[in-house]
Amino acid sequence: MHKYENIELKALFEVSRVLTSSFNLERNLNLVLEILSKELNLTRGSIFIFDKKREEINIVAAYGLTNEEMMRGRYRIGEGIVGKVMETGLPMFIPDIEKEPKFLNKTGSRIDKKGISFLCVPIKIEDEILGVISADRIYAEEQGDVDDDIRVLSIVASLIGQFLKLWESYKIMEDENLRLRSQLEDRYSLPNLIGQSPSFQGVIKTVMKVAATDATVLLFGESGTGKELIAQIIHFQSKRAKGPFVAINCAAIPENLLEAELFGCEKGAFTGAVKRIGRFEQAKGGTIFLDEIGELPLQLQPKLLRVLQERKFEPLGSSKTIDVDVRIISATNVDLSEEIRKGNFREDLFWRLNVIPIYIPPLRERKEDIPLLLEYYLKKFNHLYKKSITIDEDALKILISYDWPGNVRELANTMERLVVMTENKKIGIKDLPDTVKGTLKIKAFLSDELQLPTEIEELERIRIIETLPKHNFNIRRTALALGLTARQLSYRIKKYGINIEKGLNKL
Ligand SMILES: Nc1ncnc2c1ncn2[C@@H]1O[C@H](COP(=O)(O)OP(=O)(O)OP(=O)(O)O)[C@@H](O)[C@H]1O
Ligand SMILES: [Mg+2]
């Protein structure tokens, strides 16, 4: 008896160890059955789980059954012994299955039913019955009695119950994670990188090429040109997509905290320091995006250089060396060669970061992309705000000719505001923000009281005034540039009283 209890304890201990080792449902439950059969001499064992959607009790793990036999092991509530235990939540014992008509032998695994006993206990947690464990056993006197078996199986069942509850919430989290991740993969895919100009097509080509590699990338371009978007696309289109994307803005974190932020630190590394994991470790298996890399303090640059060269670093205040498995993408909107010249940025670090440079030109240098972006964002925000706003031709012309110093970010924000604020179905010149209108120097002339024809006239007048000096007040060439005939232009110059003798009119 004493010996038997030891075996029991050992089995239970192993079962609980297996169940806490991972969230792999089938593997864990199969291992549990293996332990039970080995330690407790069960010839066959099955774990059934109730499938709420299909209202069926299915075998999820089995010992001593073939796959085919497992497939057959399905019960409805109340059906057979398994169904009965599921229904009542009480254990059952059939001393001799040959003599029990309720015993269905659905799996067909017992050809000879002679002398086999059948044990079946519910998997319960609080009042909910989640499933059933069943076991076959050939009883011999010296192997303890049925009550012992039922007791052990009941303990195992309650351990499994707790595991199943945890597993369920893990599953919900994992599904949610997968959903979010596939949303991210959709959002950060090439179709969302808008631009047809030759220079931007070059960018897209490079992005596609580098996504397939682990190469270090340096993105440079003015503010709002899409550096972060491109870094995310590279990550989510790479084989690291399932890993984390960790972004850190080197300019946004005070210099004295940046080292701990990037590399982590030990407790007490500096006054008040608590142990923390750095961004490089958080990004393990994924990508780290070092934004505004030009702002990385000189004294931290050697440490980053070592990460790039040896893929190793030590957290602040620690002597433990950590290996880095991270793809590094950095970005800057300042001219790093200027920073190198001024001694603010190490040249060796620059070359390590600059393995694959990607330059994203500002919008004013690829005006062909503006109409596409306007259309893309109009559609996007119409969809988001459930509106169906369009842009009238004159407003569109102004939006296209505007220089967009804030690049795509400014364009996207402007479109969002326009879609939200515009009350009419069509966006007109008067709806445009002052910044956009301002570049045409027509701000002073346009007000909400103006009627559309007056507005268009104003626009026409200003365009003529702006274009004339570019062509040295030559009527024919100016007309050509404006898409007018010389006659039409002369007529308008007279109509608006533009004085071409004295050069540019005052606006
Ligand atoms: N080619 C593009 N197609 C579609 N959206 C774009 C494109 N380029 C940029 N955007 C959008 O413009 C906004 C600004 O882009 P992002 O934040 O990547 O710019 P940035 O270069 O990192 O700017 P900053 O230097 O100011 O941080 C984002 O909303 C981004 O999705
Ligand atoms: Mg950015």
pLDDT tens for the 507 residues of the chain, in order: 455 567 788 889 899 999 988 889 999 999 999 998 888 778 888 999 999 888 889 899 988 887 787 777 787 887 888 899 999 999 998 888 777 777 777 776 666 666 788 889 999 988 899 999 998 887 655 555 778 888 888 999 999 999 999 998 898 888 888 888 888 888 888 888 999 999 999 999 999 999 999 999 999 999 999 999 999 999 999 999 999 999 999 998 888 889 999 999 888 777 777 788 999 999 999 999 999 999 999 999 999 999 999 999 999 888 899 999 999 999 999 889 999 999 999 999 999 999 999 999 999 999 999 999 999 999 999 999 999 999 998 899 889 988 898 999 999 999 999 999 988 889 988 888 877 876 555 544 455 556 777 778 877 888 887 787 777 778 998 999 999 999 999 999 998 888 776 444 333
What residue numbers bound the domain in which 199 lies? 190-361
**Considering 336, 361, 386, which residue would you say is the last residue of a domain?**
361
Asked, for residue 179, whether it belongs to a domain, the answer is no
Identify residues whose C-beta is under 5 A from ligand 2, the ion: 228
Asked, for residue 336, whether it belongs to a domain, the answer is yes
Q: Which residues contact 430 (CB under 8 A, 6 or more apart)?
A: 446, 447, 448, 450, 455
pTM, rounded to two decimals: 0.64
Q: What is the CATH classification number for the domain harbouring 330?
A: 3.40.50.300
DSSP bridge partners of 332: 220
User: Count of domains in the chain?
Assistant: 3
Q: Which residues line ligand 1 (CB under 6 A)?
A: 193-195, 221, 223-229, 333, 408-409, 412
Asked, for residue 506, whether it belongs to a domain, the answer is no
Q: Which of 384, 408, 413, 414 to mutate to test the pocket of ligand 1 (most atoms within 8 A of CB)?
A: 408
Distance CA 456, CA 296 (A): 50
Are residues 252 and 401 part of one domain?
no
Asked, for residue 180, whether it belongs to a domain, the answer is no
Q: What is the CATH classification number for the domain harbouring 473?
A: 1.10.8.60
- Starting from the CA of residue 377, give the closest ligand: 1
Are residues 162 and 300 part of one domain?
no
- Output the six-digit token pair for 254: 């005070």
- Phi then psi dihedrals of residue 446, to 5 deg: -100, 130
Distances (CA, A) of 337 to 99, 218, 340, 344, 357: 90, 13, 5, 10, 13
